[in-house]
Amino acid sequence: MKVKKLLPKLNSWQWFNLISLMLIAGLLWGVVVGNHGLSSLLSRWGSLDLWWMVLAVSCMAGFWVFEALALHWLVSCLYRGVPFHSNMRTAMIGQLYSALTPFSTGGQPVQLIYMHRDGLDTGGGASVLIIKSVIYQVGILLMALLPLITSYQLFRNQVPAFGWMAALGFGVNLLVALGMVLLAVYPRATHKLYFIAVKVLYFFRIVRDVDATMAKAQTQFNIYRESTLRYEKKWGALCGISVLTIVQLLMLYMVPYAIYRAFGYQEPGAAMHMVSAAALVAIVSASVPLPGGSGGAEGSFLLFFALFFPQPDLLVAMLIWRLITYYFSIVAGGLVMMVSRKRQRAVVRLPL
């Protein structure tokens, strides 16, 4: 009698990500325990303000909802018949795979698969995701300018190597944004990249016929080009989605402040400075080529937020922040993926 396998088979890349996350989580746990973070957490847990902790978690949930709203708005510009809950599922699965892959590169390809299952053309779905990535990346860069306006002297005087860290993070994210804009504005660049990828797959004998594969993809490239051109006429929608993205990022950057207030601290002007610090942590961690920016996220948090949290509360705050903003996304995205069902919907592509 055969026993049915309950666990999915993992490929080598998935095993690498899983082992990396376990090692990082173990290292993080070791740092916290080794610096009396666990005992501090247990001793402080009863004194944390419950409502501010709820607000911290709610800010993270709001980040996901605004991500789905922006995605839904972009999809609605091209298609009719995709319900919001499907785009919410796609957004959450994107959060999961972005958290599990270096530079968050795994989110969009998996999202494209689920969008295709919802009835979207591959070309149209790719256009949606690239435009969404451009807006999100530009939003991160704009928010990264906030520390230069509100808290430059504070960080310059108190944080070692602040200038180098800010320049590195801003530079890497700017290059990513420019790459996304290139793909959105010049569809031929996307075509060339796809052709190179097919040639590489052909070299490894994964693709057998380059011409046949490219011929099948040409129809989707035409849809991608038409879809991208449509957004050039949707400036009102793009501006609205940009506003949603800024609010989305603000909710994410407010999580450390909510944790700060949960510890009972309150200083004038702390909210603006902490939002600025969170924006800096975001661009620095995005420059680290590990899943979730691991290592860079924790290190930059300890560096910037040492200005606000005394020891040993700093380690506890970092642990809570990481649990809410990173591991919570993995758990929530994993649960959404587990309960999602494959369903082909009656989706209509809107005419030009």
**Does residue 259 sit within a domain?**
yes
User: Hunting for tokens 């600025």 — which residue is that?
Assistant: 276
**How much is the pLDDT for 340?**
73
Neighbours of 209 (CB within 10 A): 11
**Does residue 9 sit within a domain?**
no
**Does residue 13 sit within a domain?**
no
**Does residue 169 sit within a domain?**
yes
The range of the structural domain enclosing residue 343 comes to: 47-349
* 3 state SS of 262: helix
Reading the block at residue 329, the tokens are: 């996304």
29-41 pLDDT, tens digit per residue, is: 555 555 555 555 5
Neighbours of 299 (CB within 10 A): 17
Contact by Cβ (8 Å): 101, 110: no
The set of long-range contacts for 237-242, using a CB threshold of 8 Å and a minimum separation of 24, is 237/73, 237/74, 237/77, 238/131, 238/135, 240/73, 241/70, 241/73, 241/74, 241/132, 241/135, 242/135, 242/138, 242/139
**How much is the pLDDT for 132?**
93
Rounded CA gap, 52 and 34, in Å? Answer: 27
Q: Compute the chain's Rg from CA coordinates.
A: 22
258-273 pLDDT, tens digit per residue, is: 999 999 998 888 899 9
**Does residue 109 sit within a domain?**
yes
The model's pTM is 0.83
Number of domains in the chain: 1
Q: Do you find a cis peptide bond into 310, omega within 30 degrees of 0? A: no
Q: Can you give the length of the chain in residues?
A: 352
**Does residue 39 sit within a domain?**
no
Rounded CA gap, 121 and 112, in Å? Answer: 9
**Does residue 317 sit within a domain?**
yes
Closest-CA residue to 108 (of 123, 124, 93): 93
Ranges of residues in the chain with a pLDDT under 50 are 1-8
Closest-CA residue to 91 (of 117, 124, 69): 69
**How much is the pLDDT for 6?**
44
